[in-house]
Each structure stands twice: as structure tokens, then as C-alpha cells.
């Protein structure tokens, strides 16, 4: 037990470090401040004034994750739909320590907490929960076959670090088939798991002690892996998630159900009645349509696609990889002094990381080079990822030089470079001239992007200062916005050195 407690302390420390880097605020200080001042007062009307709905969530296999460069997740897609219906942009903030979700929520750094949340009497004193997104039951996860039978699930795991040297435990050959057989057994749970209370109540019911160990910052997915590897004997998790882990780790058995089903919901601050009313109304309305069923099928029932994600190597929060071309992106990003994750975001925007992608206009490859541009920068084969990238980066470098004297602020200049890559520098200069003519700041992308949008109208596309004529301005404006928003997400999920999340 001493070794196990030491492991818990070490893994918790590791996650606290990551959390501090992401949030830049000590969770203890945040909690102390919150106790003094109470939850921040911001409801739906204030959120709409700001235009952005902020959701705090950890990354996991069903709530929110990046796969092959794209944000996905059951809760993420539902929240995206809700935000759209409210006329809001959605911002996801990744929290490395799920135990702090409610504290962060009440501090005002987010508006909704999402994480397969189970309402309990303890946490209902801190937050308000929405109507159920779905219902599931707690189930025991145990090992039916030895680790050698686990399949690819354990083979793909990263090499353990110093804090992950858990010895294999002696797994009993006889499966638990009913809850009463847990008497005297040790069940490992995430810290502050809602199933701690469930197991205490079960102990009373069967008049036998169940030993519960809380494993630091490790969450359900990591504990399922430990059961499969023989490092712990039992854990308890939501049945729909456990069924996915049983498909991933072939030596696991998911049974028995140990208590009645319960709801899974989102949480908001107690002083946000408008927001929770809007969420509840939206959930009730959408549950009568196809959206909820479609997404539940996609993330909890479709085993084939789930296994494809977890075995692909590109489930970013687990592997630290965005795509098969990470090394090339890093190499060529250095040529223009870019963060490689920014270049990756542009590559996803252009081709979704597909090197054989073609556009209707004739652009091809990872960075969708037009034939004339490819020839100009020495690209012999646009469908070769390395060749395409080197040509695209030369073009980006030229654009950066073009705008260097015209836009002095580095952050603003990046937006002009990206817009020019998409629409051509001439159209962006036209928008600058319109901005100057009508009293705006031609050094500000916010002002210039407005006039770039106007270039799609007859009135302004024939303005005397517009030299390059009509431009579908919405396309480059969205292009810049999408790349930078995705870049922010990539920074949350993968380190600049591309080390996998620990």
C-alpha cells in the first residue's frame, strides 16, 4: 500500500504541473479567492454580450478531443450545436485536473462544465446540473484474461515513466458475477469519483467491506488500461464508456452492474438561472429529434470508429501527434520561424492533412498550391508532402516579407499573410485602401477584414481604389479565423515539442 500511495502522490503532482501551465493560476489560490468572493455573477445575457460561450472540460475519449487535427466529442458537438442556436461562438478550455472543474466554473473562467458529470448530493451544493444528456449505470471493470490477451490496447501504450512503475497484482481467476462478491476486494477509482459513495452504500447493503483506493489524477480511461495490464484488479465506471474499453482491451470483462442507472449532465453556476433554463429547454427540444441519438451512436455505440481512433496514433491528447506529417511540419515551420502547430492548423484548413487533396480551382496537396505558385517555388510534385510543404513555406516566407514593411505588428501581420495566402495579396491591399478611404485603421486586421468582406458587393468591388476587383471576402476572413482558433486548440492538446500528454 505504501508504494501505491507514493504513486498516487507522484501522478497527482505531474498533473498539477500541467494544470498550472495551462491555467496560470494555482487551484488552491483560486479556491481560496472563490470562498471569499463567491461565484462570479455572469448569466446568459452577459455571455451573449461577449459573444462567446466558454466551456471547461478535460480531454477524454468521449467529451472533447482532437483526432487527426479535428475537434470532436459527444459533449463538444452538442455544445457546439447549442452555442450556434444561441448565436454564440464556442470556446473550449482544457483543464488537466478534472477535480477543479467546479472551482474553475465558479471563478468565471468558463460558463459550462462538461465531463460525463454525475450529479451527487455533494456536488449539487456547488453547482446546478442540467437535464440528463443520457442515463447509464455504474459497472465493474475486471480482467477476464491475462494482459497478453489484451490486444493492441496495451501494446500501443507509451513507455511508463518513473511515476508509473505499478507492479502487476495477483488477479483472481474467478470473475465477480454479482456485487456481493466484492466483499474484501480493492476497487480503484479516480479521485472524487461519484462511485465512491456507490461503493460505500454497496458495502452497507452486503454487510461486507469494500476497500476503495483513489488513484490521484488518473481518470477512467487510464484505470481501464491498468486493469487490462494487471496493475490493478477492479475499477468502476459508466457502462457506456466501459463497453468501449472492453472493445479496446480484449481481456476485460464489464460486469456486473453495481447500482441503478443515473443521469449524466452539464453543470453551470448556481447564479446562472437564464443559462440553465436555456440549456434545459434546448436539451428537451433536441432529445425529441435526431441529434442526440445520432451523436450517442457515433461516440458510444460505433465500436469500429472508436477503435480506429484509439489505435490510429493520432488521438492527439494521448499520443501528442496531429497527423502523419508532424515531423515535416516541424522541419519546415522552422524555415519561417513559425510554431509548427500554426503551420499544422493551416495544413488542416487547406487539405485536412490529405496529401492527395485537390480543389475545384486546381490547387493540390497538403497546402493546396495552385499550379502557377507551385512552379514559381520549384515544386515538382504537389502531391508529395515534402515537396508541397517546401514550396508553400517559400510562398509564406515571401508573403511575410511583402507585408513586413506594410504591417509592423507581428501578430497583425500574420493575419494579413494568411489572408493573402488564401485570396491573394492584391485583394487584401484593396481592402487596406478601402479601409484608409473610409476612415479605418489599415494596420488593423479587424478593420481591414470588414472591408475585405465588402469587396464581394458591387458597390465596393468597383470602387476606384479597388484595383483587383471582386473578391469573395468571406472566404479569407473565415480562413484566418479558423486557422487561428484551431491553432489555439492545438496548443492546448499538444506541446510545441510534440510530447504526448502525461
142 contacts 237 by C-beta, under 8 angstroms: no
Rounded Cα distance, 182 and 233, in Å: 11
- Classified as helix, coil or strand, 187 is strand
Task: Give CA 234 to chain center in angstroms.
Answer: 28
168 belongs to the catalytic site: no
CA–CA separation, 65 and 74 (whole Å): 10
Burial 373-389 (b: 16+ CB within 10 A, else e): bbeebebeebeebebbb
Which H or E element spans position 140? strand 138-143
Contact 475, 462 (CB under 8 A): no
Closest CA to 500 of 159, 76, 25: 159
Contact 13, 6 (CB under 8 A): no
Of the candidates 23, 231, 233, 350, the residue annotated as catalytic is 350
Distance CA 65, CA 59 (A): 5
Give the whole-angstrom CA distance, residue 340 versus residue 318.
19
Q: Is 232 helix (H, G, I), strand (E, B) or coil?
A: coil
Q: Quick one: cell of 334?
A: 522552422
Which cell numbers hold the place of 230?
A: 494487471
Distance from chain centroid for Cα 183: 39
Lookup: cell for 405: 514593411
Q: Which of 91, 155, 102, 216 minimizes the C-alpha distance to 488?
A: 91
**Residue 377 near residue 395 (C-beta atoms within 8 A):** yes
Which whole-number Å values give the CA distances from 71 to 64, 77, 136, in the listed order? 7, 9, 25
3-state SS assignment for residue 186: strand
Catalytic residues: 350
Amino acid at each position: 500500500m505504501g508504494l501505491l500511495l507514493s504513486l498516487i502522490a507522484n501522478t497527482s503532482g505531474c498533473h498539477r504541473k500541467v494544470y498550472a501551465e495551462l491555467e496560470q493560476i494555482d487551484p488552491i489560490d483560486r479556491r481560496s479567492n472563490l470562498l471569499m468572493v463567491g461565484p462570479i455573477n455572469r448569466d446568459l445575457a452577459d455571455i451573449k454580450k461577449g459573444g462567446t460561450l466558454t466551456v471547461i472540460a478535460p480531454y477524454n475519449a468521449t467529451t472533447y478531443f482532437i483526432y487527426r487535427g479535428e475537434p470532436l466529442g459527444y459533449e463538444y458537438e452538442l455544445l457546439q450545436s447549442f452555442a450556434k442556436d444561441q448565436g454564440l461562438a464556442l470556446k473550449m478550455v482544457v483543464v488537466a485536473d478534472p477535480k477543479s472543474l467546479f472551482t474553475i466554473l465558479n471563478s468565471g473562467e468558463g460558463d459550462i462544465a462538461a465531463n460525463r458529470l454525475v450529479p451527487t448530493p455533494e456536488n449539487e451544493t456547488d453547482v446546478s446540473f442540467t437535464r440528463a444528456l443520457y442515463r447509464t449505470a455504474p459497472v465493474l471493470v475486471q480482467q477476464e484474461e491475462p494482459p497478453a490477451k489484451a490486444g493492441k490496447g496495451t501494446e500501443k501504450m507509451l513507455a511508463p515513466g518513473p511515476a508509473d512503475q505499478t507492479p502487476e497484482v495477483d488477479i483472481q481467476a474467478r470473475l465477480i458475477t454479482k456485487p456481493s462478491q466484492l466483499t474484501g476486494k480493492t476497487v480503484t477509482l479516480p479521485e472524487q469519483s461519484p462511485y465512491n459513495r456507490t461503493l460505500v452504500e454497496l458495502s452497507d447493503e452486503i454487510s461486507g467491506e469494500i476497500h476503495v483506493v483513489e488513484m490521484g489524477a488518473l481518470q477512467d480511461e487510464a484505470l481501464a488500461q491498468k486493469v487490462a495490464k494487471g496493475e490493478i484488479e477492479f475499477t468502476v465506471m459508466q457502462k457506456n464508456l466501459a463497453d468501449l474499453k472492453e472493445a479496446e482491451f480484449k481481456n476485460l470483462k464489464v460486469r456486473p452492474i453495481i447500482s441503478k442507472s443515473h443521469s449524466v449532465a452539464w453543470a453551470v453556476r448556481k447564479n446562472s438561472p437564464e443559462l440553465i433554463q436555456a440549456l434545459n429547454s434546448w436539451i428537451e427540444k433536441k432529445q425529441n429529434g435526431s441529434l442526440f441519438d445520432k451523436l450517442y451512436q457515433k461516440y458510444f455505440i460505433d465500436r469500429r470508429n472508436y477503435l480506429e481512433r484509439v489505435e490510429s496514433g493520432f488521438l492527439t491528447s494521448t499520443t501528442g501527434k496531429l497527423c502523419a506529417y508532424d515531423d515535416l511540419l516541424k522541419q519546415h515551420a522552422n524555415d519561417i520561424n513559425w510554431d509548427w502547430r500554426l503551420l499544422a492548423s493551416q495544413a488542416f484548413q487547406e487539405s485536412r492533412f490529405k496529401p492527395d487533396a485537390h480543389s475545384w480551382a486546381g490547387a493540390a496537396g497538403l497546402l493546396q498550391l495552385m499550379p502557377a505558385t507551385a512552379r514559381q517555388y520549384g515544386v515538382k510534385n504537389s502531391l508529395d508532402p515534402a515537396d508541397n510543404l517546401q514550396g508553400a513555406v517559400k510562398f509564406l516566407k515571401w508573403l511575410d516579407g511583402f507585408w513586413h514593411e506594410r504591417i509592423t505588428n507581428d501578430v497583425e501581420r500574420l493575419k494579413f499573410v494568411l489572408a493573402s495566402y488564401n485570396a491573394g495579396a492584391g485583394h487584401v491591399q484593396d481592402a487596406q485602401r478601402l479601409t484608409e478611404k473610409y476612415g479605418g485603421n489599415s494596420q488593423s486586421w479587424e478593420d481591414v477584414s470588414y472591408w475585405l468582406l465588402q469587396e464581394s458587393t458591387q458597390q465596393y468591388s468597383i470602387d476606384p481604389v479597388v484595383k483587383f476587383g471582386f473578391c469573395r471576402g468571406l472566404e479569407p476572413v473565415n480562413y484566418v479565423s479558423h486557422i487561428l482558433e484551431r491553432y489555439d486548440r492545438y496548443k492546448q492538446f499538444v506541446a510545441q515539442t510534440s510530447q504526448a500528454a502525461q
